[in-house]
Amino acid sequence: MPRLKINESPCSAARALDILGDRWTLLLIREAVFGTHRFDDFAEHLGIARNVLSARLAMLVENGILEQEPVDSESRRYGYHLTPMGLDLLPVLVSLMQWGDRWLQTPASVPLQIVERKTGEKIPDMRPSNKAGKALAFKDLDWMPGPGADDPRIAALVAAYESQRSTVPRPVPSAPSIISAADRPSTNGRVIKRRQTSRL
Amino acid sequence: MPRLKINESPCSAARALDILGDRWTLLLIREAVFGTHRFDDFAEHLGIARNVLSARLAMLVENGILEQEPVDSESRRYGYHLTPMGLDLLPVLVSLMQWGDRWLQTPASVPLQIVERKTGEKIPDMRPSNKAGKALAFKDLDWMPGPGADDPRIAALVAAYESQRSTVPRPVPSAPSIISAADRPSTNGRVIKRRQTSRL
């Protein structure tokens, strides 16, 4: 079930970054993915101050990404474990690691490789793709308003995107027709002109 | 060519987060992807303090993610544009947005949909996959030392992972045999036992 604890921004990336948008948070998730569960181990592996660690772990529990469970069936000690919501961050973590491998390492300095367990083969770099599995580059994508696009804070983003794209001819998408909101004020009072048959 | 300006951590995710690890940085990149180029537009769309914006943009230029170019061929005004390294963050941004869509929105509140331009079809959620295109879950993946895994800070991560996995039987991967480093001290002086035929 979706959690809606945080925040006011309608954008999914902004909401995600309200949870994940600092260095330590995603590194804590990386540690959890690699099997770290105990407070002392997080502190030791990351060299993070204990008060900062304590606050970050509490925030991740609060937001449903980690939960506290017994370390093992025989133990009374509790450790932090990824919830399904936390495990579902795998695509974010993997694409972040792969970008770092491509741009922030030399071939000789890449420290970890992600392989398919069954075959031992290195997995390919993640890219957006279509349903047929064809990789899509930036120029192959369009951004269209979704059901929640009526928010004026999204409208400003969409308007910027439309004005950038307006000089480039694009085919009419076969997707269902998108919201045809009338012109409406943006957050700063400017009126954003929107075409009734808007194609992003 | 890889850039190696920053930092001391050998982990690609940690290096990437040294650039991207705050809320504003990825939101600036989201804005740039949507066609925002001018300082004033970044400031207006994000409601970010101008001194913070100025520092973040300078950092992104410094690290090769944005560059300053004329806004258009007839203009003397300069704007910020994504470099190839910046555009290559698309998989990170898309997987972050999709995670936010799955966990931080209701179906009715999703503000933006990413579609294939040619067909108008919504693109599927990004997942790690093997070369044949089969989606891989967390349990289908293993993490093996790469050529740069000799760093003791990575060894601690690998050791934690090994101890977690040691109780789970796994097939022998067909990948080339991985580094067989002798036991060596970790960052805190503990000796990490490593099997010569280590299978992560």
Tell me which residue of A59, A65, A58 sits closest to A30, measured CA to CA: A65
Give the largest CA-CA distance in chain B: 65
Q: Which residues contact residue A191 at a Cβ distance below 8 angstroms, ignoring those fewer than 6 apart?
A: A183, A184, A185
Any B CB within 8 A of A44 CB: yes
Q: What's the pLDDT tens digit per position in A43-90?
A: 988 889 999 999 999 999 999 999 998 877 777 788 999 999 999 999
The pLDDT of residue B11 is 85
State the average pLDDT over residues A26-54: 90
- From chain B, the residues in CB contact with A39 under 8 A are none
The Cα B86–Cα B29 span in angstroms is 8
The average pLDDT across B7-14 equals 77
Beta-sheet strands, E only, within B33-171:
66-70, 78-82, 112-116, 141-145
Contact residues, A window 82-121, toward B, CB-based 8 Å cutoff: 85, 87-121
Q: Shortest Cα distance from B163 to chain A (angstroms)?
A: 8
Domains of chain B: 12-87 (1.10.10.10)
What is the predicted pLDDT for the residue at B28?
93
Q: How far is B182 from chain A (nearest CA, A)?
A: 17
Give the tens place of pLDDT for each residue, A121-172.
999 999 999 999 899 998 899 988 888 887 776 777 777 677 766 544 444 3
Residues of B in Cβ contact (< 8 Å) with A169: none
Average pLDDT over residues A15-26: 85
CA distance A2 to chain B (A): 4
Q: Is the pTM of this model over 0.80?
A: no
Chain A residue numbers touching B38 (CB-CB < 8 A): none
